[in-house]
């Protein structure tokens, strides 16, 4: 099997991370995977080595303009574009092309929730790219259109999903996610300057205003019949990569630390990219940098009457690009884990 891949928005953080993973993919190393068009807008016409010097295998290539004409003809197109752009491109790509959108355009099922949080017309819903969610792996196999989840929803969903599904907590969740600055993208912005972020922590888009809030609720609602409420608080930290998420929810009577942990170990027993860390330890972002892993922990705080769920991911890998490549593998019938590292970078 041979196939070609294009990356729209190649010079952004998500696009660059997709390319880093593809360059180590077994299909690329065997010559079956061809990296085709690399596109951008403001960087069109510029040499790839100037924009992405960390990818020397692509030296000599030139960034092309993002257009249907350039992207058509590839077997797979990754859309690493801001939300609002993917909908138009996705609607005009050939039906046989596997289009994998890393933006938000096709994540939400609820048109009203989309309008509330994004303020534009709802483009629809594509198969949703968290294979670890019940039934989603099957939907992604052979899919031609795929919506990659948001990085915050990935961490929060994988942290809380087994607890909500097993009914060890009430689905009334308080989610706090501490994130590195790369989650904001590569665009120049004063709040992301080193002088603004170093040595400082800042909560933002609080009190239900962050656009990932309805996505987290949507995901967890799939595994329970009870109404799901989510209070989500993101916190910006002076890190290049990583998201540490804590979720607390009311404890269901009779649940013990042992039964909660067993629920997690059972749920994730066959998942290659989720690890329930040993008892007495906590996930750390430094342990997942560069990997497609999500490290999770669950604990019962009996005195406070809550379940504490924690996860750590690399927002650019498992949170975006790794998820996109994982979905590509499923869509094309390749080994799901192909090209995706489980080991992190240390120190």
Phi, psi of 270 (to 5 degrees): -110, 10
Give which of 11, 18, 20 is closest to 50, Cα–Cα: 11
DSSP state of 83: T
Whether cis (ω within 30° of 0) applies to the bond prior to 168 is no
Phi, psi of 101 (to 5 degrees): -95, 120
Contact 152, 245 (CB under 8 A): yes
CB proximity list for 114: less than 8 A, separation 6 or greater: 108, 120, 122
Q: Express the helix, strand and coil content of the chain in percent, nearest 5 each.
A: 30, 20, 45
Which of 102, 151, 294, 327 is an active site residue?
A: 151
Give the sheet arrangement for strand 294-301, strand by strand. 202-203, 229-236, 172-179, 243-250, 306-313, 294-301, 274-276
In angstroms, rounded to a whole number, what is the distance separating the alpha carbons of residues 192 and 24? Answer: 30
Give which of 289, 186, 198, 301 is closest to 244, Cα–Cα: 289
| Structural Rg of the chain based on CA atoms | 20
151 in active site: yes
DSSP state of 63: P
Per-residue b or e along 31-50, where b marks 16 or more CB atoms closer than 10 Å to that residue's CB? eebebbbbbbeebeeeebee
Show contacts of 337-340: CB within 8 Å, 24+ apart. 337/272, 337/273, 338/25, 338/26, 338/27, 339/21, 339/22, 339/24, 339/25, 339/26, 339/27, 339/28, 340/21, 340/273, 340/292
DSSP line for 265-290: HHHTTT-TTEEEPPTT----GGGTTT
Active site residues: 151
């Amino acid at each position: 099997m041979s196939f070609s891949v294009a990356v729209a928005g190649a010079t952004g953080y998500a696009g660059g991370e997709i390319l880093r993973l593809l360059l180590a993919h077994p299909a690329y190393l065997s010559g079956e995977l061809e990296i085709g068009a690399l596109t951008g807008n403001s960087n069109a016409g510029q040499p790839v080595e100037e924009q992405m010097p960390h990818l020397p295998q692509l030296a000599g290539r030139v960034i092309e303009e993002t257009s249907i004409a350039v992207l058509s003809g590839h077997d797979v197109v990754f859309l690493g574009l801001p939300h609002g752009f993917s909908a138009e491109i996705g609607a005009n790509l050939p039906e046989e092309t596997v289009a994998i959108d890393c933006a938000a355009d096709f994540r939400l099922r609820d048109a009203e929730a989309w309008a509330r949080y994004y303020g534009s017309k709802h483009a629809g819903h594509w198969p949703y790219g968290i294979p670890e969610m019940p039934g989603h792996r099957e939907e992604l196999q052979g899919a031609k259109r795929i919506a990659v989840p948001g990085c915050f929803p990935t961490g929060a969903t994988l942290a809380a999903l087994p607890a909500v599904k097993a009914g060890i907590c009430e689905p009334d969740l308080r989610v706090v996610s501490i994130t590195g600055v790369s989650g904001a993208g590569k665009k120049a912005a004063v709040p992301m300057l080193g002088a603004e972020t170093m040595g400082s922590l800042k909560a933002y888009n609080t009190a239900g205003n962050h656009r990932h809030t309805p996505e987290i609720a949507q995901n967890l609602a799939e595994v329970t019949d009870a109404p799901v409420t989510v209070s989500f608080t993101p916190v910006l930290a002076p890190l290049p990569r990583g998201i540490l998420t804590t979720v607390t929810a009311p404890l269901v009577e009779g649940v013990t630390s042992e039964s909660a942990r067993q629920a997690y170990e059972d749920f994730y027993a066959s998942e290659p990219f989720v690890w329930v860390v040993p008892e007495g330890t906590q996930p750390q972002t430094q342990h997942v940098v560069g990997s497609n892993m999500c490290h999770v922990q669950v604990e019962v705080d009996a005195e406070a009457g809550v379940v504490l769920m924690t996860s750590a991911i690399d927002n650019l890998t498992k949170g975006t690009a790794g998820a996109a490549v994982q979905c590509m593998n499923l869509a094309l019938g390749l080994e799901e884990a192909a090209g995706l590292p489980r080991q992190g970078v240390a120190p």
